Amino acid sequence: MNHPLDEHTWHRMTEEILAGMREWRQAHPKATLREIEDELDTRWARVRARMLEDMALASAAANWAATAEGQQPTCPDCGQPLRLRGTDTRTLQTHGGQSLNLARSYGTCPACGTGLFPPR
């Protein structure tokens, strides 16, 4: 599973903010400094969350399936290499209240049955 950084999407989302803020400003000519700031923060939080998600998924630890033999995570109880079982998605909240979906690999120990997510 490869997850290249989707910079094209980052650019597109950023351009949408610039155009969107221009329109918003025209529709809200009497907005206070605080209101403008809140609007900016809300919009940037989405790009920020997307960038965070992309960069987290691109990290080597999230990409266990592609990890070389001998470098795979081991059982903390008995030291056996874990057997990859699949991926699981967890949802986190970022600063700014955006939801972040992170898929990560998990495995079980073939010797003692311990199941866990490898540490990041």
116 binds Zn ion (CB under 5 A): no
Q: Do the Cβ atoms of 114 and 75 come closer than 8 Å?
A: yes
| 8-16, 36-44, 76-84, 90-98 -> range binding Zn ion (CB under 5 A) | 76-84
Q: Do the Cβ atoms of 73 and 65 come closer than 8 Å?
A: no
Measured from the Cβ of residue 73, the count of other Cβ atoms closer than 10 Å reads 19
Applying CB under 5 A, among 5, 66, 92, 112 the residue interacting with Zn ion is: 112
61 binds Zn ion (CB under 5 A): no
Applying CB under 5 A, among 1, 40, 78, 92 the residue interacting with Zn ion is: 78
**Shortest distance, position 111 Cβ to Zn ion, whole Å:** 5
Q: Do the Cβ atoms of 93 and 44 come closer than 8 Å?
A: no
Half-sphere CA count of 117, side-chain side, radius 13 A: 13
The contact set with Zn ion (CB under 5 A) reads 75, 77-78, 80, 109, 111-112, 114
